[in-house]
C-alpha cells in the first residue's frame, strides 16, 4: 500500500486506503466479535495500512475500546481518527449530543479513555447540527490541539458551504486549519461531485470517503437475493430501485468480467482512479465485517482500470449536476473568450 499526505494543508501521511471500524463489536446487535475484529485489523496492517477511522458511537463505544486494544503496542505507527456528535449510546440527552464545545470536550475525554491513548490524531465532528455556530466548533478544535488532546481536525457529513466558511474563518483567525472532510462517495452515490469534491480540490483538503461499496450494493449481492446489511444498517445501503442503479450494476459486472476481477474490486478501483487524477487525497474507507471481506477488497491494490473502463463506469453512474453548474457549462465557450481549446486550464482549480 502507498502513502499520501492527507490534503495539501497537512504533512499527515496516511495509507491510500483507510480501515473503518463501524463493524468492530456487537453493540448494535450485529458486527464483528473481538477475535474477528483482530483478524480484520491484522490483515489491514499486513497490507501496509495505517489509517484507522472510528467514532464514539460505533457499536455503542465498543469499537473505540477494541481499536485501543489493537493499536496499543504500536500506537505511534497509526493515524487514529475518531468522531464526536451523537454520543457513545442512544438517549444521552440534549447536553451530551451535538457539536457544542461542551459536548466536544466531554466526548474527547471519553474517547481517549476508551481508546487508551493520550491523543487522537484526527478528530472529526461527525455530523453538522443546526444549532452550533461553526466559530464555536473551530475554537474548541483549536483549544484541543493546543492542549495536545488532538492533532488535526475535520468535518464529516457537513454541507460544502459550511466547510468552506470554516476553512476561511480558521485561516483568518489563526485557528488549526480544517484538514479534510468525510463524505459518502461511490459509483452509486456521486452527489459529492456537485460541491464537496470540487471544494476539496480547490482548497487542498483531504477527503475520506465512506461506504465506497454503497453499503454492499456494488458487490452485486443484493441482486442475487442476499439480505446482508439490509437487516442491520439498512439506512446506509443502496438498492436497485431505478434504471440508473440497474445500469451501474450492468456496467460494473461487464467491466469485472473483462478484467477477470470481482465487482467489489472494480468499484474500489474506480475510486482509486479518481484519486489518482486528483490534486489532493481521496481515501476510501473500508468497513469490512470479516477478514474474508477485507481480503477480497484489498486485492484491488493490484488492479488498474483502463481509461475506457473508467469512462464507461462514469457514464453509467452519471448524475445531473444541477444549478448553477449546468448554466455555467452552457456558457463555457463564451467564458473562454470563444477559444476554449486554446485557454489552458489551471493546474489547480480556483476557490
What's the number of CA atoms in the CB half-sphere (13 Å) around residue 262? 17
The pLDDT assigned to 150 comes to 98
Q: What is the mean pLDDT of residues 221-235?
A: 59
pLDDT band (50, 70, 90) for residue 222: confident
pLDDT for 316 beyond 80: yes
pLDDT score of 21 more than 90: yes
Residues in the chain: 351
The share of the chain scoring above pLDDT 70, in percent, equals 96
CA gap 163, 157 in Å, rounded: 10
Q: Which of 74, 69, 45 is nearest to 294 (CA)?
A: 45
Cell numbers standing for residue 257: 468480467
Known catalytic residues are 58
Query: What phi, psi does 155 have (nearest 5°)?
Result: -120, 125
Query: What pLDDT is attached to residue 221?
Result: 83
What residues does each domain of the chain span? Answer: 3-320
- Asked if residues 301 and 290 have their Cβ atoms less than 8 Å apart, the reply is no
Mean pLDDT value across residues 196-224: 94
Q: What is the mean pLDDT of residues 32-50?
A: 98
Per residue in 290-306, pLDDT (tens digit) is: 999 999 999 999 999 99
Q: Which three cell numbers stand for residue 97?
A: 449530543
Q: 62, 99 in Cβ contact below 8 A? A: no
Confidence tier at 225 by pLDDT (50, 70, 90): low
- Cell readout for 218 is 456494488
Least confident range from 9-13, 206-210, 217-221: namely: 217-221
Count each helix (H run) and each strand (E run) in the chain, helices first.
12, 10
Q: Of 180, 109, 117, 168, whose CA–CA distance to 144 is shortest?
A: 109
Cell numbers linked to 126: 461527525
* Mean pLDDT calculated for residue range 253-275: 98
β pairing state of 13-15 and 3-5: antiparallel
The grid coordinates of residue 295 equal: 481480503
8-22, 40-54, 136-150, 221-235 — which is least confidently predicted?
221-235
Instruction: Give the three-state DSSP class for 57.
Output: coil
pLDDT at 228: 55
Q: How far is CA 194 from CA 56, 133, 138, 325, 349, in A?
A: 30, 24, 25, 8, 14
The torsion angles phi and psi of 70, rounded to 5 degrees, stand at -70, -35
Distance CA 222, CA 230 (A): 9
Which SS3 state, helix, strand or coil, does residue 71 take? helix
Calculate the average pLDDT of the chain: 95
Q: Which three cell numbers, joined as nine digits, stand for 149?
A: 488532546
CA gap 208, 12 in Å, rounded = 13
Report the CATH superfamily, name and number, of domain 3-320.
NADP-dependent oxidoreductase domain (3.20.20.100)
What pLDDT is attached to residue 238?
Answer: 82
Residue 234 has pLDDT above 70, yes or no: no
Lowest mean pLDDT among 57-66, 135-144, 192-201, 235-244: 235-244
Instruction: Write out the DSSP string of 113-172.
Output: HHHTSS-EEEEEE-S--SSS-HHHHHHHHHHHHHTTSEEEEEEES--HHHHHHHHHHHHH
pLDDT at 253 over 60: yes
| Amino acid 226: pLDDT | 58
CA distances to 2, 134, 225 from 230, rounded to whole Å, are 33, 35, 11
Please report which confidence band the pLDDT of residue 89 belongs to, taking 50, 70 and 90 as the band edges. confident
Question: What's the confidence (pLDDT) of residue 35?
Answer: 98
Specify the 3-state DSSP secondary structure of 289: coil
Amino acid at each position: 500500500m502507498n502513502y499520501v499526505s492527507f490534503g495539501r494543508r497537512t504533512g499527515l501521511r496516511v495509507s491510500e486506503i483507510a480501515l473503518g471500524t463501524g463493524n468492530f463489536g456487537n453493540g448494535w446487535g450485529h458486527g464483528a466479535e473481538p477475535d474477528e475484529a483482530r483478524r480484520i485489523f491484522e490483515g489491514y496492517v499486513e497490507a501496509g495500512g495505517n489509517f484507522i477511522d472510528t467514532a464514539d458511537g460505533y457499536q455503542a463505544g465498543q469499537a473505540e475500546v477494541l481499536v485501543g486494544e489493537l493499536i496499543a503496542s504500536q500506537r505511534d505507527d497509526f493515524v487514529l481518527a475518531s468522531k464526536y456528535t451523537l454520543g457513545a449510546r442512544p438517549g444521552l440527552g440534549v447536553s451530551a449530543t451535538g457539536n457544542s464545545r461542551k459536548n466536544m470536550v466531554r466526548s474527547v475525554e471519553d474517547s481517549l479513555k476508551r481508546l487508551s491513548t493520550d491523543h487522537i490524531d484526527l478528530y472529526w465532528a461527525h455530523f453538522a447540527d443546526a444549532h452550533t455556530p461553526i466559530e464555536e466548533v473551530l475554537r474548541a478544535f483549536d483549544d484541543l490541539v493546543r492542549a495536545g488532546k488532538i492533532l488535526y481536525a475535520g468535518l464529516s457529513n457537513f454541507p460544502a458551504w459550511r466547510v468552506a466558511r470554516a476553512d476561511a474563518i480558521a485561516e483568518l483567525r489563526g485557528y488549526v486549519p480544517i484538514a479534510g472532510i468525510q463524505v459518502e462517495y461511490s459509483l452509486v452515490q456521486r452527489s459529492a461531485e456537485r460541491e464537496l469534491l470540487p471544494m476539496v480540490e480547490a482548497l487542498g483538503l483531504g477527503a475520506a470517503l465512506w461506504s465506497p461499496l454503497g453499503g454492499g450494493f456494488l458487490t452485486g449481492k443484493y441482486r442475487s437475493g442476499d439480505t446482508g446489511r439490509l437487516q442491520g444498517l439498512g439506512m446506509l445501503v443502496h438498492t436497485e430501485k431505478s434504471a440508473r442503479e440497474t445500469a451501474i450494476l450492468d456496467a460494473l459486472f461487464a467491466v469485472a468480467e473483462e478484467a477477470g476481477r470481482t465487482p467489489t474490486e472494480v468499484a474500489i478501483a474506480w475510486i482509486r482512479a479518481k484519486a489518482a487524477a486528483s490534486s489532493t487525497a481521496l481515501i476510501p474507507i473500508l468497513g469490512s465485517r470479516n477478514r474474508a471481506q477485507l481480503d477480497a477488497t484489498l486485492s484491488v491494490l493490484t488492479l488498474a482500470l483502463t481509461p475506457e473502463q473508467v469512462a464507461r463506469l462514469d457514464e453509467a453512474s452519471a448524475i445531473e449536476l444541477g444549478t448553477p453548474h449546468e448554466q455555467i457549462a452552457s456558457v463555457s465557450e463564451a467564458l473562454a473568450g470563444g477559444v476554449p481549446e486554446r485557454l489552458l486550464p489551471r493546474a489547480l482549480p480556483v476557490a
